[in-house]
Amino acid sequence: MEIIYLDETHLSDFQTLYTRFFMELREKQGWKPGEEEIYRKEAEVYFKRSDLIFLALEGSKAAGVIRLSSREGCFWVEEIYVRPEFRGKGIGRALVERAEEEVKKHDDSLYLLVLPQDKDAIAFWKKLGYGTINTIELTKNLKPSGRSAVHTVELLGERFRIFEWKGGKFNGEERHFMELLEEFYEKGGTKEEFLKLVSSALEGWLE
C-alpha cells in the first residue's frame, strides 16, 4: 500500500471515492443521495482550492481517501473513506496517520465531527486516540422534512434527539436507556430532576 498526496493524475479517483462516500452515508441516513455529477464537481472544487487530500493506493487501485480542510485556524477531517473490499487492512489508520504527519507541520491538533449514531466511526477514532469535546449541533425545521428523530439522548440533563441510523448498532442496554429517557421527558421530566436522579444513583453506587 502507498499513501500519496493527491495530484491531477488521480483527480478522477478522488471524485469516485468522494461520490461513494456520500452514496454510502446517505443510504445509512435514509436520505436520497444527490446526483453523482454534483459530488464529482464538489470534489474538483476541493482539489482546486488545495485542501489536504491523500489517496491510499493498492497497486494501481485507489483504495481509500482522506480530505482535510483548514478553517478558522484549525484543520478538520472532512471525509475519510475506504472501499468495502479493502476494509480491515489498516488503510483507514494509515490515511489518518499520514494526515496527522502533515498537520503537525502547521498545528498541534486535528478536529472532526462524527454523528452519534455512527458507532463504528466513533470506535475507529477513539482507537486512534481521539476524544470527544464540546461541539453541539443545533437545528430548527422550518418546514416538514419527512424525517423525525427516533432516539433521545442527553448531555448534563439537556435533551437531544438523534436520527435513526440504518444498521445502527446500539446494544440492548443503550436502547433501553434511550427509551426510558424518551418516556421521562415526554412525561414532563426536567433537566434538574434528571440530574438529581443520576447524582443520587451515582452517590449510592460510590458509597
- Tell me the pLDDT tens digit for each residue of 74-104: 999 999 999 999 999 999 999 999 999 999 9
Residue 189 C-alpha from the chain's centroid: 30
Residue 116 · residue 169 · CB < 8 Å? no
Amino acid present at 62: A
Q: Which residue has the higher pLDDT, 157 or 78?
A: 78
C-alpha cell at 16: 469516485
Rounded to the nearest integer, the mean pLDDT of the chain is 90
Collapsing DSSP to helix, strand or coil, 89 comes out as coil
Q: Phi and psi (nearest 5°) for 111? A: -115, 160
Q: Which residue has the higher pLDDT, 2 or 118?
A: 2
Which among 111-115, 138-142, 147-151, 158-162 has the top mean pLDDT?
Answer: 111-115
Residue 151 CB contacts under 8 Å (≥ 6 apart), including other chains? 117, 161, 162, 163, 164, 170, 178, 182
Q: Write down the pLDDT at residue 148.
A: 61
Q: Write down the pLDDT at residue 140.
A: 78
pTM of the predicted model, to two decimals? 0.81
Least confident of 40-54, 122-136, 187-201: 122-136
- Tell me the pLDDT tens digit for each residue of 116-139: 888 889 899 999 999 888 777 777
Q: Write down the pLDDT at residue 146.
A: 63
